[in-house]
Structure 1
Amino acid sequence: MDPEALPRQDAEPSMMDPRVMDPDQEIVRLAGLDDADIDQVVRVLEALRRWRETERRMSEASRRYMKLGDTDMRALRFLIAMQNHGRVVTPGAIAEHLGITTASTTKLIDRLAAGDHVRRTPHASDRRSLAIEVTPETRHAARETVGRSHARRFDAAARLTAKEREIVIRFLDDLAASDQDPA
C-alpha cells in the first residue's frame, strides 16, 4: 500500500516533524502552535525536501546528459547568459564568476573545449586575451535540458499572485538567512 494513502496515525512518522525528532522541545519551540499548525509546517518542510530532491535529480540528469560536472555546468550557464546579452566572456571573467583560480579556469576551459562545448576565439578588442564562446550544439543541448526545466519552474512561480510571490520570497530569504551564525 502506498504510504501516502495511509491515515496519518498509521503513516511512517516524518523526519521533518519536531514532535518526532525533538519531542522534548530542546531545539524546536512549538509554543503557540496547535497540531494542525505543526502538521502544516511539517508539510511545508516536506515539500521543500521533495523540491530539493527533484532539483538534485534534474541537475544530475542534465550533467549526465551533457557529460559535465557541476562547475562545468555553472560555467556554461554563465557563458550562455553573457552571450545572450552580447557580452564577451574572458577566462578571467569565468574565474571571477565561479570563484576559482586562473589555473583551475584554464583546466575547466580545456575540458569544455575538448568536449566541444566551448571554443576559444581572439578577443575583439584585447589582443592579449581570449574570448570563450559556447558552441551552438551545447547551447541547444542546454536549452533543451536546463532551459526547459527552468521554464517549468518559472511557470510555477508565475501562477502565484503577486502577494503569494512576496510571501514565498520572504520565506525563502528567511530560510537562507537561517543558516547564518547568531550574532
Structure 2
Amino acid sequence: MVHEQEPGEPVEPSMLDPRVMDPDQEIVQRAGLDDQDVDQVVRVLEALRGWRETERRMSEASRRYMKLGESDMRAIRYIMAMQNHGRVVTPGAIAEHLGITTASTTKLLDRLATGGHVRRFPHPSDRRSLAIEVSEETRRVARETVGRSHARRFDAAARLTPDERDVVTRFLDDLASSAPESAPS
C-alpha cells in the first residue's frame, strides 16, 4: 500500500538518493548535477524500482496461480514461442534454453506433465527423441495472465516516440552492462 503524502508532512528521504546514502560522494559522484538534476535521477531510479517490484509481484502471482516455479514458467514460455513458430521442441532444446542439465530437464518435464501443463509424444522425424507441447489449458491460462501483462508492457513502449524508445533502450542497456558479473565474495 502506497502512503499518500499529506500537505506539510515531512518527506521521507529516498534510499536511492545519493545525498542521503552517500553524502560525501565516496561512491556516487554528482559533479555537474544540481539538486533538480539529482531529484530527477532519483525519480528515474524510484520508477525503475517500482517497475521491478511490480514485475516481481506479477510474475509471482502468475507462478502461484499456475502452481509453477520460475524454470517451469520459462520452459512453458519457450515451448509456446517455438510452437507459435511451427518448431518441434525437444527436451534437449529446453535444457539448452534454460541452461540446465538433461537430468534436470527430465525432472522439470515430469513435473509439468504431471500437472497437465505439457504433453510428450514421439518426435515426428527423429524416433530417438521426444517432442514437447504445451497443453491447451496451460496455453489459455498463460495467454490470459502473462500474455495480457506483456501486451500492456508492449502498449506502454509503443506509446513512446521512436526517439524516446531509443533513449529508454540505451538507458536499460547501460544498466544491464553496469551489473557486476557476480556478487562479491
In the superposition, the TM-score normalised over structure 2's length comes to 0.94
> Structure 2: how far apart are the matches of 1:63 and 1:137?
15
Once the two structures are TM-superposed, the CA of residue 10 in structure 1 deviates from its matched residue by 1.3
Alignment partner, residue 170 of structure 2: 170
The one-letter code of the counterpart of 1:148 is R
The one-letter code of the counterpart of 2:117 is H
Map residues 148-163 of structure 1 onto 2, 5 A cutoff. Answer: 148-163=148-163
Alignment partner, residue 85 of structure 2: 85
Alignment partner, residue 45 of structure 2: 45
Once the two structures are TM-superposed, the CA of residue 4 in structure 1 deviates from its matched residue by 4.4
The one-letter code of the counterpart of 1:107 is K
> Structure 2: how far apart are the matches of 1:85 and 1:100?
23
What secondary structure, in the 3-state scheme, does the structure 1 residue paired with 2:113 have?
Answer: helix
What secondary structure, in the 3-state scheme, does the structure 2 residue paired with 1:94 have?
Answer: helix
> Structure 1: how far apart are the matches of 2:8 and 2:93?
53
Alignment partner, residue 104 of structure 2: 104
What secondary structure, in the 3-state scheme, does the structure 2 residue paired with 1:10 have?
Answer: coil
Alignment partner, residue 12 of structure 1: 12
Runs of 5+ in structure 1 lacking a partner?
Answer: none
> Structure 1: how far apart are the matches of 2:18 and 2:6?
20
Aligned length: 180
Alignment partner, residue 55 of structure 2: 55
Provide the alpha-carbon RMSD of the alignment: 1.4
CA offsets 1:145-170 (integer angstroms, 9 cap, x no match): 00000000000000000000000000
Once the two structures are TM-superposed, the CA of residue 5 in structure 1 deviates from its matched residue by 2.5
The change in CA–CA distance for 1:87 and 1:166 in structure 2 (over 3 A counts) is: same
Identity of matched residues, %? 79
Alignment partner, residue 28 of structure 2: 28
In the superposition, the TM-score normalised over structure 1's length comes to 0.95
What secondary structure, in the 3-state scheme, does the structure 1 residue paired with 2:120 have?
Answer: strand
